[in-house]
Amino acid sequence: MQPPVERAFLVGAPRKGTAEATQVEEHLDELGRLADTAGADIVGRTYQRIEAPTPNFYLGQGKVEELKGVLNRNGSTLVLFDEPLSPVQGTNLEQVLAVRVMDRTEVILDIFATRARSAEAKLQVELAQLEYLLPRLTRMWTHLSRIRGGIGLRGPGETQLETDRRAIRRKISVLKKRLEDVADHRANQRQGRRACPSAALVGYTNAGKSSVLRALSGDDIFVEDRLFATLDTLTREVDVGDGYRFRLTDTVGFIRKLPHHLVASFRATLEEARAADLLLHVIDASHPAWEEQVEVVESEMRNAEGGTRNSRGSSERKRVIYLLNKADLLPDPEAFLAQVRERYPHAVLTSTVPTSALQVRRLGVEELRHALRTSAQALRPMACIRVPVGDGKLLAALHRDAEVMQEAQVDGVVEVTARVEAWLLGKLRRQGIEVEIAP
Ligand SMILES: Nc1nc2c(ncn2[C@@H]2O[C@H](COP(=O)(O)OP(=O)(O)OP(=O)(O)O)[C@@H](O)[C@H]2O)c(=O)[nH]1
Ligand SMILES: [Mg+2]
């Protein structure tokens, strides 16, 4: 039996003097898309500008009363709040409004929970859920006792709560440990694949990251017009021409006010982006708020960086190629590009839809391939390395860390032609090995 579809009512409460009306509406639109992705119907929305949230209800008393009337009239079964509610505010609102109240974080957690496929994503979501649950445990208990009439749950009492809290804390530390193991495993895998340069596709959710990977690789990768279609990283090796290859990794999308539990849990996934040689930042150029979305992605990436482990080269600024995607939906793509290039000089206009009314067939995908080729050449120059015949250790190291194309023995020296990372070239030179960069 299908559960009845929730009838969701959206509520925003921006601070006075912060966002403009269009922006507030846009934020509620996004909450609506989240609700839709989670499977709810949207029956209405409202917002109130507030000085500051009240400790008991977030909103003012008057607005809460008004809301109650509206909810009754349109038969809402669920209220979705665009702001983070404290456990107390959540409980109080549910009591007064007599419907379930969820905040943005809960909706996002719910979507992630239903969409997690890989073992790693499931672990990450479970961890985020437990972290979110911990301070709200009392509220959950009142929930249960109300729904089940209290039988079997009567007077859970502090002892039971404390036992539960302890159990959850234990579970949290087990999950953290398992995720660390996954992260180590990934780091090892990356180590073994250094020969090929890597790029991570990052960007706001629904910008078209998976579509770009699909267009470049020709593989049938899951794409959907819903938020958070991708939760698992997916890596494909892509031919970028002239014998160069790039390892591209699709990553989970960002969204405004992403719950920090989730960001923290998806650290291993974000690490993939941090370890990449290059970032492809995919932007939905047709979205009215694309600039705000770029800002969200960049600030989340900066935050994540602060929380991740250090590794070689983390202090340098990573190369970013900005992809202005969904160009087919722009009225005048060229004018848009000209304007945007002032700020993002190397931006590429892309469209991943095979054909469109404007006849921009896979616009920019070849240009992107070319940009990747140029980067690959710079990141992994072709070099000729002269290795003394007896130096088996160095030969083995080259086969491990570089992409060896050719090997020939001349007068007691092995001439190895290989694509080699710049850092490795420097190291070889310092060891007194003869190295020559191919033109
Ligand atoms: N018109 C148009 N639609 C596009 C383009 N690229 C992607 N889309 C559509 O945008 C939606 C989202 O695409 P995805 O590739 O799933 O986006 P994503 O960034 O991977 O999204 P998440 O994984 O959910 O974060 C899909 O419906 C795509 O068909 C484009 O160039 N033009
Ligand atoms: Mg995706």
CB 83 within 8 A of CB 13: yes
Residue nearest (by alpha carbon) to ligand 1 atom 27:
225
Distance CA 9, CA 300 (A): 28
Name the residue of 211, 226, 252 to mutate for ligand 1: max ligand atoms within 8 A of Cβ. Answer: 211
Domain that holds residue 128: 116-179
pLDDT, residue 144, reads 47
Distance CA 157, CA 310 (A): 45
Residue nearest (by alpha carbon) to ligand 1 atom 25:
205
pLDDT, residue 315, reads 46
Asked if the structure places residue 187 within a domain, the reply is: no
Do residues 372 and 387 share a domain?
no
- Residue (of 1, 381, 387, 33) closest to 224 by Cα position: 33
Do residues 275 and 340 share a domain?
yes
Distance CA 263, CA 129 (A): 12
pLDDT, residue 360, reads 44
Residue 250: count of CB within 10 angstroms of its CB: 26
- Residue 226 Cα to ligand 1 midpoint, Å, equals 9
Residue linked to tokens 């050449």: 377
The model carries a pTM of: 0.83
- Residue 211 Cα to ligand 1 midpoint, Å, equals 6
pLDDT averaged per 10 residues in sequence order, the chain, 439 residues: 82 86 91 92 93 93 93 93 91 92 90 85 88 74 46 51 83 91 80 76 94 86 77 85 87 85 74 87 95 93 62 60 93 91 89 61 80 87 89 88 86 89 86 85
Do residues 268 and 125 share a domain?
no
- Residue 75 Cα to ligand 2 midpoint, Å, equals 34
- Residue 393 Cα to ligand 1 midpoint, Å, equals 47
Asked if the structure places residue 343 within a domain, the reply is: yes
Counting ligands in written order, the one closest to the CA of 204 is: 1
Asked if the structure places residue 185 within a domain, the reply is: no
Expressed in angstroms, the distance from the first to the final Cα of the chain is 68
- Residue 210 Cα to ligand 2 midpoint, Å, equals 4
Residues with CB under 6 A from ligand 1: 203, 205-211, 223-225, 227-230, 253, 282, 325-326, 328-329, 351-353
Counting ligands in written order, the one closest to the CA of 253 is: 1
Name the residue of 352, 365, 368 to mutate for ligand 1: max ligand atoms within 8 A of Cβ. Answer: 352
Distance CA 95, CA 115 (A): 30
Segment holding 251, helix H or strand E: none
Taking the CA of residue 225 as reference, the ligand 1 atom at the shortest distance is 27
Distance CA 298, CA 267 (A): 15
pLDDT, residue 120, reads 84
Do residues 365 and 327 share a domain?
yes
Do residues 372 and 246 share a domain?
yes
Do residues 174 and 204 share a domain?
no
Residue linked to tokens 């999308």: 253
Residue nearest (by alpha carbon) to ligand 1 atom 6:
208
| CB-neighbour burial class of residue 137 (10 A; exposed 0-12, middle 13-18, buried 19+) | middle
Do residues 203 and 120 share a domain?
no
pLDDT, residue 146, reads 47
pLDDT, residue 95, reads 92
pLDDT, residue 359, reads 47
Taking the CA of residue 351 as reference, the ligand 1 atom at the shortest distance is 31
Domains in the chain, number: 4
